[in-house]
């Protein structure tokens, strides 16, 4: 059997890269410049799995992902929770007194405000964390630092000046592993499952109230429910939903059947084992 083929959005050294290595060690890795290209790789080639960040414990949902889910209709077959540990990376030979600017993704900068304010760093917004480290490696300017992962420091031959500089130590990103034509796991009562779906309500009064009632009456717990507008409209809304349970369980089937009565469309994105991380919360 050959190596697993994994694609993610970002530069080598990104947190998606770290997640890929943890889930599929020794896999064949492909870095993609955009989420759209990442999804397209798995859509065009069934051999590829993609690692997609869907939400962060501090920053909330990841922009654009919800619009790509219904477009490509890939299947979720696993989830992974990755701890995010930011580091201040500098050119070798640079010291703290030399650093005047830090560059990184906007969210990473927001998550490291204490160290930025304390040292009076000026900030430079970049497309992603690993890309900031890559750009720094090509520069000779010792006055600039990058906020990125330890893996980025290793890949781009940078010095870690400060470790774990994030304001919140429990900063965690939830990733989903997706690919084409995934077979859902058979139900095993000894295991816990998550079922994910996207639906669009019928445009009638109390549609959302009625569709959610099926989960209440069948005692199905929802772990996530988010709305997002349909592109180019102001009057239609899609919903992303995660629930605890397997689609083969009778109460889940009844709840989804009730949901179907009040929707224009309902797409099951995946049925997969719940991460053990959920049990730690």
Q: Would you name the residues annotated as active-site residues?
A: 173, 175
> Are 222 and 196 a contacting pair, CB within 8 Å?
no
Place of tokens 């959005």: 9
From 57, 254, 42, 48, select the one nearest 174 (Cα to Cα): 57
90 strand-pairing partners = 159
Angstrom distance (rounded) from CA 159 to CA 90: 5
> Would you state the structure tokens that stand for residue 170, as one six-digit string?
């429990």
The first and second tokens of residue 30, run together, are 């492909």
DSSP string, 5-60: EEEEES-TTSHHHHHHHHHSTT-EEEEESSHHHHHHHHHH-TTEEEEEEEEETTTE
User: Residue 261: which residues within 8 A CB-CB, separation 6 or more?
Assistant: 210, 211
Sheet holding 87-90, edge to edge: 122-126, 101-105, 144-148, 87-90, 159-162
Tokens representing 98? 């030399």
Please provide residue 261's backbone torsions phi and psi, each rounded to the nearest 5 degrees: -65, -25
Chain centroid offset of residue 97 CA: 35
Tokens at 254, concatenated: 């009844």
């Amino acid at each position: 059997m050959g190596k697993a083929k994994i694609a993610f959005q970002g530069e080598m050294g990104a947190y998606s890269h770290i997640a890929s290595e943890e889930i599929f060690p020794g896999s064949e890795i492909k870095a993609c410049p955009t989420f759209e290209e990442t999804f397209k790789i798995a859509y065009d080639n069934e051999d590829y799995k993609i690692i997609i960040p869907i939400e962060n414990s501090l920053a909330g949902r990841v922009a654009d992902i919800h619009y790509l889910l219904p477009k490509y209709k890939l299947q979720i077959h696993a989830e992974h929770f990755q701890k995010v540990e930011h580091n201040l990376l500098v050119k070798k030979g640079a010291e703290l007194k030399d650093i005047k600017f830090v560059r990184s993704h906007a969210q990473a900068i927001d998550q490291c405000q204490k160290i930025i304010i304390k040292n009076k760093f000026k900030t430079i917004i970049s497309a992603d964390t690993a890309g900031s480290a890559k750009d720094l490696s090509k520069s000779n300017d010792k006055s600039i630092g990058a906020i990125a992962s330890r893996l980025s420091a290793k890949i781009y031959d940078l010095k870690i000046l400060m470790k774990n500089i994030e304001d919140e130590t429990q900063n965690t990103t939830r990733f989903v592993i997706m690919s084409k034509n995934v077979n859902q796991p058979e139900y095993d009562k000894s295991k816990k499952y998550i079922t994910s779906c996207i639906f669009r309500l019928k445009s009638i009064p109390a549609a959302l109230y009625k569709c959610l009632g099926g989960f209440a009456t069948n005692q199905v717990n929802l772990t996530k429910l988010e709305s997002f507008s349909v592109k180019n409209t102001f009057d239609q809304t899609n919903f992303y939903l995660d629930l605890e349970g397997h689609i083969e369980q009778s109460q889940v089937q009844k709840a989804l059947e009730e949901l179907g009565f009040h929707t224009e469309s309902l797409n099951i994105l995946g049925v997969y084992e719940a991460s053990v991380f959920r049990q730690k919360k």
